Amino acid sequence: MQRTIKIYLIFFFCLIVSHLQAQKKNDILKNHFISNPIRVDGELADWPDSLNYYHAASKLHYNAGNDNTNLYIALKTSDPAVIRKILSFGFTFGVSPDNRKKGGTSVTFPVVDRIALRSSEEERRRRKEPADVNSLNQQILSKVYGLNIEGFKILPDGSIALNNDFGISAAGALSDSGVFTYELAIPLKLLEIEPQDDKTITYSFKVNGLQRTVIEQGLPTMGRYGMYGYGYGGYGYGRSEPYRRTISETVEFRVKFNLAHQ
């Protein structure tokens, strides 16, 4: 009897935990209202409080805010592997006002001048200067020249300069202790969002990573008489066929937010 009661209690507890996790996953968060203009420099000094949201798989601390003109995003991470992925492949922030899983608008930072970076790296090697990970990352940040944009109705997809006439601005910074911080501002009108909108907006956060295709050996095929098909050589497995599989190091998550109102 006691064993049965314990089983029911464990089952009930699991249901509660499952429900709470589902609730948390589907929570709708709210932007901070930005009362003082934010200077987008990657330093996060203008944010009213700490970045109080955290996504474990991407290892990103983040926050979102808005005033009556712009949508703002801030994030930080101290994980060396995540920082290297962002600097090598970029971080993509997307906005979907109608909560579609695909489509919407996105901004990817950074776009790096690879030729200038290669030249700078060759010069460092020629001088035989030591290079730790943090200094190499700083070197990459110094060669950032633009952003990639996609999905804006009145703007063509492609690269734009950091200093542009569209009001989209982004900046990254790296502290001496190896903490990467990032800020992004996008005009609400470019996102076709009104400052007083009450509808839920989906933000996507994507740490882009390397994608590669590998060839793996498949499972043995079924012979005429099953897997152990009889044949001239007795019985054995049928021939296995190799197949291609794509491995991606990209980490993406989506969060629902509501705008903050004054």
Q: Please answer whether residues 133 and 141 qualify as being in contact, where contact means their C-beta atoms are separated by less than 8 angstroms.
A: no
What is the band of 14 on the pLDDT scale with cuts at 50, 70, 90?
Answer: very low
In the block, residue with structure tokens 């203009």: 37
Output the average pLDDT for the chain. Answer: 81
pLDDT reported for residue 61: 96
Residue pair 249/21 in contact by the 8 Å Cβ criterion: no
CA dist., res. 190 & res. 180, Å (int) = 27
Contact 92, 108 (CB under 8 A): yes
What share of the chain in percent tops pLDDT 70? 73
Strand duo 60-66 + 32-33: pairing: parallel
Report phi then psi at 143, rounded to 5: -105, 15
pLDDT at 24: 53
Whether residue 93 contacts residue 203, with contact meaning beta carbons closer than 8 Å, is answered with yes
Backbone angles phi, psi at 194, to 5 degrees: -85, 145
Q: Of 244, 261, 242, 236, give the one whose Cα is nearest residue 67.
A: 261
Q: What is the pLDDT of residue 37?
A: 85
Residue 115 pLDDT: 87
Per-residue pLDDT tens for 22-39?
Answer: 335 568 999 999 998 899
Amino acid occupying residue 234: G
Distance of CA 257 to the CA centre of its chain: 16
Quickly count: other Cβ atoms within 10 Å of residue 135's Cβ: 12
d(CA 206, CA 233): 53
pLDDT band at 245 (very low <50, low <70, confident <90, very high): low
With a CB cutoff of 8 Å and minimum separation 6, the contacts of 3 are none
Range list of β-strands (E), 57-134:
60-66, 70-77, 91-96, 105-112
CATH assignment, 29-209+249-258? 2.60.40
Highest mean pLDDT among 7-11, 114-118, 142-146, 227-231: 142-146
- Domain range annotation of the chain: 29-209+249-258
Better-predicted residue by pLDDT, 203 or 3: 203
pLDDT above 50 for 7: no
Residue 200, CA distances (Å) to 104, 164, 239 in order: 14, 29, 53
> Does residue 127 carry a pLDDT above 70?
yes
Which tens digits make up the pLDDT trace of 162-217?
Answer: 999 999 999 999 999 999 999 999 999 999 999 999 989 999 999 999 866 656 66
